Amino acid sequence: MSHYQVEGNDPCDWTDWESAGKTRGGPCGRAAGSWERYEEDAEAAAALGANAFRFSVSWSRVEPRRGEFDEAALERYARLVVRLDALGLEPVVTLLHYTHPRWFHDETPWTSTASVDAFGRFSARTARALGPKARCWTVLNEPLVLVLGGYLDGQVPPGIASARDAARALDHLLAAHEAAAAEIRAAIPGAAIGVAHNMMGFAPERARNPFDRALVRVAGRFYNQALLDAFGEGRWSAYLPPFTRLAGRRPGLPASLDFFGVNYYSRLHLRFLGDGGRIGSFAYRDPHGRGLTDNGWEVVPEAFPPLLRQAASLGKPLFVTENGLADAADTKRAAFLEAHVGVLQAAEVEGLPVHGYLHWSLVDNYEWLDGWEPRFGLLE
Ligand code: FCB
């Protein structure tokens, strides 16, 4: 789960983004009511047989004004951790799942080094409040997706479209991961630090077309591999045609990571020279006739194993930190789950270090730009 998508009434940048009419899905409002009902969610997860529970902390609740921490908000998350522990659910804590406090973009934006200090302070306070029962941390959720949507495309907060800002933001996000890792380890000896990285399958729209195939290689290097390079080698260079390069160096990054989280959903089909004179276009297709999910994504477990192998090349333990589908009528869900869990069984036999699987999601929730329509929950 992520805080914004389930808690409701989060006083953050996304709420303002929705009020400004910049989403397709209308307001999030009270969401799934989890701010009041997290314990019920946890009990439902335990009843389904889960042994772990991923959630994220709302930075805007915890630090509503810069430097002012709300002890009651921290206490609320600490209570959840105690309950999870009592239910035999390993807490998996995310510190940044797309949203920011209202002051953040004006006062300490990701394009400035001040962001790193601010995030470090928030991480330290949160780790101390949650304590040693919170052992497993996916500090950042999908940092590259945030940079693409928020700094290159301008589709999500803070709504910037600048390659230069995107490169800076990614560098500072990775520095912030490093700072948070140090703070969490200081507060919780033995904590395991990870990241949740969205990985996509890519296929050429025309199987034999050399340009489509070249595009697939470029997309894979940019979207899937660059972050693995960052955490594996402490440097990254990601090229997105025609003019974007996100490059940087953070030598301390590899040592700040204990495990790597893969968020896997689907595959995109790429075509060189897309509509409107663009260098390429991408679309979901359904070559196997399985039917697309409710939000139009291909169901393709076959694209999952190569991505797990690619992630395993990092040499760290792997977790699947998200995987699931939008299926309101529940007609595809069972087969989807069986096929993807089957991939994990095969991965285990193959010797890939996959240590856990977190399904997205436990309950139906607010799906960002798409609002309430896509239903990812195991529970309605
Ligand atoms: C992931 C996000 C998560 C949810 C799923 C469907 O990229 O991390 O919050 O929106 O997609």
pLDDT in tens, 173-196: 999 999 999 999 999 999 999 999
Q: What percent of the chain has pLDDT over 90?
A: 97
How far, in Å, from the CA of 116 to the mean position of ligand 1?
A: 24
Ligand 1 centre to CA of 48 (Å) is 21
Which ligand 1 atom lies nearest to the CA of residue 376?
A: 6
Atom of ligand 1 nearest to the CA of 142: 8
Write down the pLDDT at residue 192: 98
pTM for the model: 0.98
Question: How many angstroms does the Cα of residue 208 sit away from the middle of ligand 1?
Answer: 32
Bond into 242 cis (ω within 30): yes
Q: How far is the CA of 231 from the centre of ligand 1 (A)?
A: 21
Nearest residue (by CA) to ligand 1, atom 9, is 2
With a cut of 80, say whether residue 200 has pLDDT above it. Answer: yes
Confidence of residue 223 (pLDDT cuts 50, 70, 90): very high
Opening angle at CA 238, ends 246 and 106, nearest 5: 25
Please give the number of the atom of ligand 1 that sits closest to the Cα of 145.
7
Q: Could you read off the pLDDT of 38-47 as tens digits, one per residue?
A: 999 999 999 9
What pLDDT shows up at residue 27?
A: 93
| Beta strands, E only, the chain | 52-56, 90-96, 136-141, 192-204, 235-240, 244-249, 259-272, 280-283, 318-322, 354-357
**Ligand 1, atom nearest to 324 Cα:** 6
Q: Which residues contact 327 (CB under 8 A, 6 or more apart)?
A: 293, 294, 333, 336, 375
Closest CA to 97 of 152, 57, 67, 65: 57
State the chain's mean pLDDT as an integer. Answer: 97
Instruction: Say how many Å lie between the CA of residue 101 and the centre of ligand 1.
Output: 19
Q: Which residues contact 161 (CB under 8 A, 6 or more apart)?
A: 151, 152, 153, 154
Taking the centre of ligand 1 as the mean of its atom positions, its distance from the CA of residue 322, in whole angstroms, is 8
pLDDT band at 330 (very low <50, low <70, confident <90, very high): very high
pLDDT band for position 278 (cuts 50, 70, 90)? confident
Alpha-carbon distance values, 182 to 96, 123, 190, 216, 227 (Å): 16, 9, 12, 36, 19
Flag whether pLDDT at 213 surpasses 90.
Answer: yes
Query: Average of pLDDT values for 18-40?
Result: 95
3-state secondary structure 198-231: EEEEEEECCCCCHHHHHHHHHHHHHHHHHHHHHH
pLDDT of residue 85: 98
Ligand 1 interacting residues, C-beta cut-off 6 A = 2, 5, 141-142, 145, 198, 263, 322, 360, 367-368, 376
- pLDDT confidence of residue 279: 87
Assess whether pLDDT exceeds 90 at residue 275.
no
Q: Is the pLDDT of residue 65 over 90?
A: yes
* Span of 51-60, 226-235, 269-278, 296-305 with lowest mean pLDDT: 269-278
Mutate to test the pocket of ligand 1, among 144, 364, 367 (most ligand atoms within 8 A of CB): 367
For ligand 1, the distance from its centroid to the CA atom of residue 52, given in whole angstroms, is 18
Amino acid 276: pLDDT: 73
276 or 127, higher pLDDT: 127
In the predicted model, is pLDDT for residue 242 greater than 90? no
Write down the pLDDT at residue 71.
98
Pairing state of beta strands 259-272 and 280-283? antiparallel
CA distance 95 to 99: 10
Which protein residue has the closest C-alpha to ligand 1 atom 10? 367
pLDDT higher than 80, residue 274: no
Q: Average pLDDT in the 125-145 region?
A: 98
| pLDDT score for 138 | 98
